[in-house]
Amino acid sequence: MSVRCMAQFVGREVKYGGLIPHVAGEVLFLWFCNLLAHFINTYAVDESFTQASAVRSYTKFVMGIAVSALTYPFMLVADIMAVNNCGLAAGLPPHSPIFKSWLHCWNHLNHKDQLFRGSSFFFRRVPVTSWPSTEE
């Protein structure tokens, strides 16, 4: 991502638009993880609990897993925009539409209910349009 941003600076191009969702996703991830871990460690973990220090040590880890689910769409959009119209087959039709901006990509994925595609290893979301037709 950083190489593409630097390369487009040379030619004053604005072809790559994945930096904003990537940075937004990273900032939101860090902010939410730290905020939730602070509130849990401060208000939910009682000092009289014998395992309080062990619980506190795992709070950020568990919050990282939870918050990554919330920030996943930002990372997905950033990854899609990294290859969007770059000359690779994965970033060109028919494999992927060409997006004008990261917001255009976000809206397209949201409309297709694919903002969380690939977010789970065990439970995959299949677009409704890909189901075989039962009509003959």
Model pLDDT, residue 106: 96
Token pair for 109: 């994925």
* 87 φψ region: left (φ > 0), alpha (ψ -120 to 50), beta (else): left
Spell out the per-residue pLDDT of the chain, length 136, in tens. Answer: 666 666 666 667 666 667 788 888 889 989 999 999 899 888 888 878 788 888 888 888 888 888 888 899 998 998 888 888 887 788 889 989 999 999 999 999 999 999 998 887 777 666 655 555 555 4
Whether the bond between 132 and the residue before it is cis, its omega within 30 degrees of 0, is: no
Model pLDDT, residue 77: 92
Would you call 97 helix, strand, or coil by DSSP? coil
Model pLDDT, residue 1: 62
Q: Where are the domains of the chain?
A: 2-130
